[in-house]
Amino acid sequence: MHKEDLPNVNNRKNIAVVPASNTGMHNAFVQAVQDAGGELAPVETATALIWADAQDSSPYPEIIAKAPHVQWVQLPYAGVENFSEYLDNNHIWTCGKGVYADPVAEYIVGALLLGLRDFYKFVPANSWQTRTGRNLLGADITVLGGGGITESLLRLLQPWKCKVTVVRRSAASFSGAIRTVTLSSAVDAVVETDAVVLSLALTNETRHVVDEKLLDAMSTNAWLINVARGGHVDHKALADALRSDSIAGAVLDVTDPEPLPDDSELWSLPNCIITPHTGNTAEMGLPLITRRVKENVSRWINGKPMLGLVDVLHGY
């Protein structure tokens, strides 16, 4: 979409916030639109659409069919796989890229300490344990993904002087990393590392990026930490690796499916720590995405570049 195709300034103020199924998010976004100078409008006359449900994308086709003037769509999440079948080149798409980076990076630091310091063994213990554990200080860490979470993580890890390798689509140097490689080198990048962190978008290319081959390449002392999407990991291969102690353990904040069924073998493995997608909770995230919505509404009204643009071709 070209700048000359954008609606005039007055029409840009007409913004719809839909659906109303998530009352808390809907109300917060309505207030953000108004605070930014926008005017709430029905989808039939709106030129922009703010999606206010972080769980359900299914109403979108019906809603957008009634919205002939909408040219910009704001999504509430960082990963847009829920909308992958709807992404097109007829609209400007923005999402929550980078919005949730700091709380998720904080979670990763906690997960690293949980694993390397053997807290996962000591917490459930009811007797004195053998003194074990390794330093996060100076650890070798490989991060799959080169977005906002990785930027925040590298900043938080500076006091620990970790040696971080970043794996991403581009081999261009990533600030703060000792090396940057492409996804085709992922298996080589995890050899002899203390931890592998997943913080990349879920696409056809990255689904099951953590498979039997990559897990086999990891050290028996290495931890896998997934804060991205459950679909990045082959859970059967992971269960086999954890059961055989071919890797030290895993911290999973995301699973596939989600919630993880009670009969999943992963629940029974003592070196697998599962949290219910708490890297960024609703309480943490709603103020952050609301600020993004307000900023983007202001930018939309004033014809300025938008934040968190979605790459429709690559799906994130």
Given the residues 229, 232, 235, 292, the one annotated as active site: 229
Both tokens assigned to 269:
């493995």
Tell me whether residue 169 is one of the annotated catalytic residues.
Answer: no
Q: Which residues contact 277 (CB under 8 A, 6 or more apart)?
A: 253, 254, 258
CA-to-CA distance for 29 and 99, rounded, in angstroms?
Answer: 15
Both tokens assigned to 249:
């353990």
Tokens 């790459």, located at residue: 311
Tell me whether residue 26 is one of the annotated catalytic residues.
Answer: no
Q: Which amino acid is at 254?
A: V
Q: What is the DSSP letter of 148?
A: H
Given the residues 69, 207, 208, 277, the one annotated as active site: 277
Given the residues 258, 265, 295, 299, the one annotated as active site: 258
Tell me whether residue 44 is one of the annotated catalytic residues.
Answer: no
Q: Which amino acid is at 162?
A: C
Report, as residue numbers or ranges, the catalytic residues.
Answer: 229, 258, 277
